[in-house]
Amino acid sequence: MYGFAIGDPINFADPFGNRACFQGSAADRFELQHHTEVATGTKFNVVQQNDGAHCAENVQTVGQSTRRSRGFTEIAQATNYTLWIAKVLGVGSAVRGTRLEYDPTSLTNSYLVGAGGQCVQGPSYQAGQIVAHELGHFYAMATVPLFTHQYAEAWEHEWSLANGQPLRPFWYSHGFGCNQHPTIP
């Protein structure tokens, strides 16, 4: 479900810099801002830039500082790349190039959780969980282009723990089974 596009070298260069930006209609951008705030434990303004892009400014941490709030603040303040966040339908949530594509059709699916060495049916995905996962991929790509799955799962698990959502087993989302627990960076 959570794909990750690994392919041609990615050009993170951004002539405008300093941005995490939202695409789509005004309603889509508002929804994506909300999901991103929930995913990262932040609040921010979305401000139209000189080139027309709608981008996060004045990122504030809500409550405790977390790897998600710190990481998203770093992404929004980076000067050497831009993260684009968009809503897509039916193709799955993933980071594709420098774009985080959030697919709300995933919300109707439930995921498996590990219990006693077995995989059992768990609850449905939540938007903040999905966006936290994909932001973890992007953060790893943009900062330490290694271990992106571990980062994605670390961001997701941190979100799930903070929001009372049962954990997906480490690595399960990438096909490694229900009871494997690699080291989280």
Q: Which DSSP category does 166 fall into?
A: P
**Which of positions 21-40 make contact with Zn ion (CB under 5 A)?**
none
| Count of CB atoms situated within 10 Å of the CB of 26 | 10
Tokens of 160: 């799930």
With respect to Zn ion, which residue has the nearer C-beta, 29 or 133? 133
With respect to Zn ion, which residue has the nearer C-beta, 19 or 137? 137
Minimum CB distance to Zn ion, residue 63 (Å): 25
Minimum CB distance to Zn ion, residue 86 (Å): 17
Sign of CA dihedral 30, 36, 37, 38: positive
d(CA 2, CA 105): 12
Pattern 102-141, Zn ion, x by CB under 5 A: ----------------------------------------
Q: Report how far apart, in Å, the C-alpha atoms of 49 and of each of 33, 35, 46, 69, 126 are.
A: 16, 21, 9, 23, 30
**From 2-10, 34-42, 48-56, 75-83, span contacting Zn ion (CB under 5 A):** 2-10
Helix (H) or strand (E) holding 22: strand 19-22
Minimum CB distance to Zn ion, residue 18 (Å): 26
**Which of positions 146-165 make contact with Zn ion (CB under 5 A)?**
152
- Three-state DSSP at 94 gives strand
With respect to Zn ion, which residue has the nearer C-beta, 2 or 72? 2
Minimum CB distance to Zn ion, residue 78 (Å): 21
Determine the residue with CB nearest Zn ion.
2
d(CA 125, CA 18): 31
Please name the amino acid found at residue 127: A
With respect to Zn ion, which residue has the nearer C-beta, 53 or 112? 112
With respect to Zn ion, which residue has the nearer C-beta, 29 or 169? 169
Tokens of 16: 């405008």
Minimum CB distance to Zn ion, residue 165 (Å): 16
Contacting residues toward Zn ion, per CB under 5 A: 2, 152
